[in-house]
Chains A and B, each alone.
Chain A
Amino acid sequence: MKWLHKDLLDVSQLSRPEVMAIFETAGRFQELQERPVKKVPTLKGRSVVLFFAEPSTRTKTSFDVAGKRLSADTFSLAKSSSSLTKGETLKDTALTLQAMAPDAIVIRHRSSGAARFLADRLDCAVINAGDGRHAHPTQALLDSFTLTQEWGSLEGKTVLILGDIAHSRVARSNVFLLNLLGARVRLCGPRTLLPPAVKTWNAEVYSDLNQAVKGVDAVMCLRLQLERQQDGLLPDLREYSRTFGLGPRHIELANPDMRILHPGPVNRGVEISSELVDCEQSLILDQVASGVVVRMALLFLYTTRKGEEQ
């Protein structure tokens, strides 16, 4: 498939065949991961800038590993070491990066729309690794890839996204992608942590977790940012975990084969009980492994796009 998109800003840009092409490419890279030497020369000579203006270890490391396994040169620009702390504007950072002529820039930023801001100004591929509460397309792709590996297909499955939906770019991207792939989506969380227009989203909304988990095939827990309490959005963590935390008793209400996902990092005992994190049905570490191969696929598709045209 000839890759048409310059940038990956959100999953809503993608068609179902395009998602399948990403998964197929990721599947091929997955086989590589079982070899003793995991590195291939596919992207030798290509450069990828990892521009993380917001703290992130997991996603950044995942992109770094993905790039290196494909022999791309990866360069990091982290908030602490970057000129951002010296008050440089995003526009100037963008133009500086442009001048270094990378093949792709992976951006993580606290502001919704920041990835598009870069994409509108740069010639290279821009891959959104999370912008504010707007979108996190690579996370959604790796989540669906993980479930596809488990189930073969998401068609007809029911997935519950649980927790702080309002502030979650993971939830926004997943609601779209799960629907695109034929799953039914449920959302559950306190009203204070649901988006104001959630009724217009393609999902069933629950305020009672016991109702929400009934018969679901997978639960995707979201990390609760601990500052939501100070923001006046919830009384305290004890009440939250007892009301909206996923625990062993919920397993019985769901499909017995229910899978558990979490984008990490996990607050054990807050949004999910500790034993569920480690239980057999937990796919949390599979998500990490999927993350590397899905990001390899994305780096490959987005950086070789121009080469194929020539």
Chain B
Amino acid sequence: MAKIDLIVRRAKLDGRDVDVFVSRGRIAEVRDAAEPLDAGDAAVEEAFGLTILPSLTDAHVHLREPGFEYKEDIASGLCAAAWGGFGNVMCMANTRPVNDEGSVTELMLERARKAWPGGPRLFPIGGLTKGLKGEELAPMAELARAGCVAFSNDGVPVKSTELFRRALEYASDWDRVVIDHCEDPYLGVGAGVNEGEVSSRLGLAAQPDVAEAMQVARDILLAEYLDIPIHLAHISCKKSVDLIRFAKARGVRVTAETAPHYLTLTENHLESAGHEYDTNAKVNPPLRPEADRLAVIEALRDGVIDILATDHAPHAGHEKETEFDVAPCGVSGLDTALSVTWALVRDGVLDRATFLRAWTTAPCAIFGLPVNTFAPGDPADFFLFDENEEWTVTPQALRSKGKNSPLLGAALKGRVKTHFIQGKKIV
């Protein structure tokens, strides 16, 4: 056995009391906790019975740098990620300038290295089209060489189906998956509110769920026809789930994600006492009715939805504290996602295996990222988690610059106490 550098003592791993042995940044062995232990000259981290979980992967965040550092920057985003339990984060390309050339990708990676050497790993997502304008293909070979792990026009869906088809084909040459934000470009675009009972009462311009589902259908048909994989971002409604379920059953190479807010909140939030016209719950796609929330949970359980991602979309306070129709879409999610989704495990809504698949193994398999399953040789990325520590979501408690959480004021349970990446303690 290789030289042990670190031993995590008496951690709770799926109900077992274990000691975790780390060698050269990798998992060496996981043993039932034993007394006494000869640590030799290895560092010892006493877990005192805290839960140990592998670092999570967030395949969909907006870190806003370069260009919108007043909303978030790579340093503040990585800090929120580390304390939120995330070891890998994939950042979207809608920066200024857009991440549509290798130099921008390199700048992002350089900023991450400088902000936090050895911190959470940053994996940029390259723009699918130049400037995200949907007119010309982005130089995906250059972007891939610079370090982009996927391509997306997130937030600005490609209107031309012809160009989108070519983009799928071209991206597949570089063995990169295209992530599509499914939204019909002509139907209630960017309203941030679901069209239905609530929007009718509140008098808000809204977007129906079919605007998402129609684009899901288009993407599935293209992926099937071209035999190229595609990943569908932030799925929010039953109509989309049904289409994906049907597609997977016939072998289409489609994967899908949803975000914690679609599992826990509904459009009724906008009418609930103290949250009327809450711009922090204005998000694209919008929060849906209860039936959709339940359908999305079911899809996540049975694997129709493969992964969870936060769609962390930080905005400045003054941008959100305004008239509802003027406010930008997006919720800040890196700080709260772990507590929110672990609560679903605690309540029996999700089982632990689904939680781990959705936050670790599935996203890492889709995008080719390092993942820890606590098998020997896996990267020693894990955190100690106090499942029972209560905390209140306040602007001060969020490490992200984006305080735009619909959960402000809510009490959550579960806090990261310490986080290791490749065997090095980062927080």
Contact = CB atoms under 8 A, between A and B. Distances in A.
Q: Do A and B come from one complex?
A: yes
Interface of A: 89-91, 109, 111-114, 116-117, 131-135, 169, 172, 195-198, 200-201
A11 to B, nearest CB: 13
Nearest to B208: A196
A111 B206 CA distance: 13
B299 to A, nearest CB: 25
Contact of A197 (B197, B318, B323): B197
B200 A196 contact: yes
B39 interface: no
Given A89-B322, A111-B323, A114-B323, A133 B203 contact: yes
Interface of B: 195-197, 199-204, 206, 208, 276-277, 318, 321-326
6 contacts: A114-B323, A117-B322, A132-B325, A169-B203, A172-B203, A197-B196
Given A135-B203, A200-B197, A200-B200, A113 B318 contact: no
Contacts of A195: 200
The 5 A-B residue pairs whose C-beta atoms are closest, nearest first, are A113-B277, A134-B203, A111-B323, A133-B203, A195-B200
Contacts of A169: 203
Contacts of A133: 203-204
Main secondary structure of the interface of B (DSSP, over half): loop
A200 B199 CA distance: 12
A252 B321 CA distance: 52
Counting chain A CB atoms within 10 Å of each CB, the highest count among B196, B200, B206, B326 belongs to B200
A116 B200 contact: no
A109 B202 CA distance: 14
Contacts of A89: 318, 321-322
Contacts of B200: 195-198, 200-201
Nearest to A200: B197
A117 B326 CA distance: 13
B322 A112 contact: no
Contact of A112 (B196, B208, B318, B325): B325
A91 B277 contact: no
B318 A91 contact: yes
Contacts of B321: 89, 91
Contact of A196 (B196, B318, B323): B196
A83 B277 CA distance: 24
A112 B204 CA distance: 6
Contacts of B204: 112-113, 132-134
A113 B208 contact: no
A89 B317 CA distance: 12
Given A90-B323, A134-B204, A198-B200, 15 more contacts: A90-B322, A91-B321, A111-B324, A112-B324, A113-B277, A117-B322, A132-B203, A132-B204, A133-B203, A133-B204, A172-B201, A196-B196, A196-B199, A197-B195, A197-B197
A157 B208 CA distance: 35
A117 B323 contact: yes
B131 to A, nearest CB: 27
B210 to A, nearest CB: 11
Contacts of A114: 323
A112 B280 CA distance: 16
Given A91-B318, A112-B277, A113-B277, A134 B202 contact: yes
B324 A113 contact: yes
A134 B271 CA distance: 13
A65 to B, nearest CB: 27
Contacts of B206: 196
Contacts of B208: 196
A263 to B, nearest CB: 16
A201 B196 CA distance: 11
B197 A112 contact: no
Contact of B202 (A90, A91, A112, A198): A112
A113 B196 contact: no
Given A117-B277, A132-B203, A195-B200, A111 B326 contact: yes
Contacts of A172: 201, 203
Contacts of A197: 195-197, 199-201
A168 to B, nearest CB: 9
A131 B276 CA distance: 14
Contacts of A117: 277, 322-323
A34 B111 CA distance: 76
In this complex, the member of B203, B277, B326 whose beta carbon has the largest number of chain A beta carbons within 10 angstroms is: B203
Contacts of A131: 203
Contact of A113 (B195, B197, B202): B202
Contacts of A196: 195-196, 199-200, 206, 208
B238 to A, nearest CB: 17
